[in-house]
């Protein structure tokens, strides 16, 4: 940060206060009222015009500061140098939910919400969903490049080889109550894995990191399927390593007495597509949790457990369940206009519509809508689909939704597919967590190899009391 300054500042003082170079713009007091816009003096204007920088004028002191703009951001830490006096801790930003704060530099997932673009490592999601497999996409996310034939085969072999879990993990899962939420079981089991692999805490060892990445991607379907079987009181099914990633997951979910369970190829394909669509979505709540927990340099199992916990929450992983509840409440196609009128009157929200980032059709929603056809061709059409299609049709033509740029998001149709595949709503977040693991791990790898990163430790604005005298219990209660 550079600072245009008052006359009493000397270069020596600036060195002492660790302020960077002052731009050669003489400070001049200008009359400034906050609501009139941050007008700068003509001289400052001329000196800074065209630079990739931001001039800030602190009206408490009259000092002006010039902060470089890099990648469309200013470094929040540099604001800390803006002080009233030496006792002042410095200026900070207040940004609950990090709605306008970049916490990292990342080369994994690109989103342009206005244009409805989603890319993993530069590849459009539409192409990946159509032409790739989940394991290939996981490789791409983790390694940054598409695999060669040999790399792909070796990756596939590694993942398949590690699908089994220690028998004590099975015993651990069996200890849950009969009605345990599968996501709670998944959360606890992934956390427990860290005790089975204590070497995973050596996160500075690249080979060690790779081993844990493989184990986590490989074991998630096993744990997810067992959590599902547990709720149904059915025996846990061991992985079938002759099958691919999604096919093996379906077998562990649904196999009963048959020696081999081969799901319909269209269902396997639909699940692959759903897994690809959910693999990563840059700095969302659960990814931020993984990065935040991981910043303490804890092992990856514990960091991923943080992500699972975040995804468990209804504001993150639970919207597709809310869509199903809403569709059931609407009940029939002829009730759709009445329901839309209620939404427009502010009585409730059209679940599965709108997104914090996408102000256009969520590209994943388009792909899921197509996957619906494949799934329903096997399972029969979910009767709620007609209501969903009618809701979408009306909403996309209605000025209320158009003017607010509300379009279907990934959750609008995914619940319908999951329900058609016989998953109870409690499983929806588990189905999200399994593929998201490759995204979380890519982000974790990026974090632990990024020299810019520090332990996550946001500031606060303290609003509590200060300096109270403690009165002992017997005196307070007297
Ligand atoms: N139905 C009706 N109106 C809506 C909806 C909706 N689904 N979403 C937003 N609006 C309206 C708001 O009422 C507001 O209107 P106003 O300007 O008249 O007050 C305007 O659109 C902007 O809404 P915000 O809440 O400010 O938008 P924000 O970006 O903060 O919210 C969110 C995004 C939370 C996803 C919101 O659109 C929503 O609640 N959608 C329904 C829930 C949902 O589908 N969530 C899943 C998201 S995808 C995922 O997490 C994987």
Whether 307 contacts 286, CB under 8 Å:
yes
From 287, 351, 354, give the residue whose CB has the most ligand 1 atoms within 8 Å, as the site to mutate.
354
pLDDT at position 18 is 41
* Consecutive H or E run containing 120: strand 117-120
Q: What does the pLDDT look like over 113-166, one tens digit per residue?
A: 999 999 999 999 999 999 999 999 999 999 999 999 999 999 999 999 999 999
Could you tell me if the CB of 351 is within 6 A of ligand 1? yes
CB 125 within 8 A of CB 118: yes
Strands of the 63-68 sheet, one edge to the other: 2-4, 63-68, 53-58
325 lines ligand 1 (CB under 6 A): no
Catalytic hit among 230, 240, 355, 362? 355
Bridge partner list, 4? 64
> Looking at ligand 1, which atom is closest to the CA of residue 346?
13
Could you list the pLDDT tens digit for every one of the 478 residues in the chain? 544 444 334 333 433 344 433 343 333 333 333 333 344 455 556 677 888 999 999 999 999 999 999 999 999 999 999 999 999 999 999 999 999 999 999 999 999 999 999 999 999 999 999 999 999 999 999 999 999 999 999 999 999 999 999 999 999 999 999 999 999 999 999 999 999 999 999 999 999 999 999 999 999 999 999 999 999 999 999 999 999 999 999 999 999 999 999 999 999 999 999 999 999 999 999 999 999 999 999 999 999 999 999 999 888 888 888 899 999 999 999 999 999 999 999 999 999 999 988 998 899 998 998 888 889 999 998 889 999 999 999 999 999 999 999 999 988 999 999 999 989 999 999 999 999 999 999 999 999 999 999 999 999 999 999 999 999 999 999 8
Active site residue 112: no
Residues 417, 372: Cα–Cα separation, whole Å: 6
Looking from the CA of 371 toward its CB, the CA atoms found within 13 Å total 31
The stretches of 175-284 forming alpha helices (DSSP H) are 182-196, 206-232, 245-254, 265-277
pTM value? Answer: 0.87
- Do 11 and 36 meet the contact criterion of CB atoms below 8 Å apart? no
Reply yes or no on whether 42 is catalytic: no
Strands, sheet with 109-112, edge to edge from the N-terminal-most edge strand: 109-112, 117-120, 123-124
Best CA proximity match to 304, nearest among 448, 428, 410: 448
Q: How far apart are CA 258 and CA 124, in angstroms?
A: 39
Active site residue 355: yes
Calpha distance 400→410 (Å, rounded) = 20
Atom 2 of ligand 1: nearest residue by CA position: 349
């Amino acid at each position: 940060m550079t600072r245009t300054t008052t006359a009493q500042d000397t270069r020596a003082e600036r060195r002492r206060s660790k302020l960077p170079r002052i731009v050669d713009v003489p400070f001049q007091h200008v009359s400034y009222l906050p609501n009139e816009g941050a007008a700068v003096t003509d001289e400052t204007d001329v000196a800074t015009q065209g630079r990739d920088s931001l001039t800030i004028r602190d009206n408490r002191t009259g000092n002006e500061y010039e902060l470089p703009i890099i990648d469309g951001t200013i470094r929040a830490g540099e604001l800390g140098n803006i002080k009233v006096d030496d006792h002042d801790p410095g200026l900070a930003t207040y940004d609950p939910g990090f709605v306008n704060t970049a916490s990292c530099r990342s080369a994994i997932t690109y989103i342009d919400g206005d244009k409805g673009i989603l890319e993993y490592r530069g590849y459009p999601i539409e192409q990946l969903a159509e032409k790739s497999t989940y394991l290939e996409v996981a490789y791409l996310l983790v390694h940054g490049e598409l695999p060669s034939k040999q790399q792909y085969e070796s990756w596939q072999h590694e993942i398949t080889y590690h699908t089994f879990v220690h028998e004590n993990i099975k015993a651990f899962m069996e200890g849950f109550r009969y009605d345990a939420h599968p996501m709670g079981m998944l959360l606890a089991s992934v956390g427990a894995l860290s005790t089975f692999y204590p070497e995973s805490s050596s996160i500075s060892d690249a080979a060690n990191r790779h081993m844990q990445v493989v184990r986590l991607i490989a074991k998630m379907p096993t744990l997810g399927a067992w959590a599902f079987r547990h709720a149904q009181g059915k025996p846990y099914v061991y992985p079938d390593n002759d099958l691919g990633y999604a096919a093996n997951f379906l077998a562990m979910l649904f196999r009963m007495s048959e020696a081999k369970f081969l799901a319909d190829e269209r269902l396997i394909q639909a699940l692959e597509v759903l897994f690809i669509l959910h693999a990563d979505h840059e700095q969302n709540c659960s990814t931020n949790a993984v990065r935040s927990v991981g910043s303490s340099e804890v092992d990856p199992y514990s960091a991923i457990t943080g992500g699972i916990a975040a995804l468990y929450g209804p504001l993150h992983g639970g919207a597709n369940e809310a869509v199903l509840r809403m569709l059931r409440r609407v009940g029939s196609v002829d009730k759709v206009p009445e329901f839309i009128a209620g939404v427009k009157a502010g009585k409730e929200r059209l679940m599965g519509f709108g997104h914090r980032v996408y102000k256009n059709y969520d590209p994943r929603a388009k792909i899921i809508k197509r996957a619906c056809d494949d799934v329903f061709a096997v399972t029969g059409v979910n009767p709620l689909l007609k209501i969903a299609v009618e809701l979408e049709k009306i909403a996309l033509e209605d000025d209320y939704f158009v003017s607010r740029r509300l379009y279907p998001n990934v959750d609008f149709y995914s619940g319908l597919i999951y329900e058609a595949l016989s998953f109870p709503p409690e499983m929806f977040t588990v189905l999200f967590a399994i593929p998201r693991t490759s995204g979380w791990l890519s982000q974790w790898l990026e974090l632990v190899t990024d020299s810019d990163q520090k332990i996550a430790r946001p500031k606060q604005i303290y609003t509590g009391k200060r300096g109270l005298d403690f009165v002992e219990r017997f005196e307070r209660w007297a």
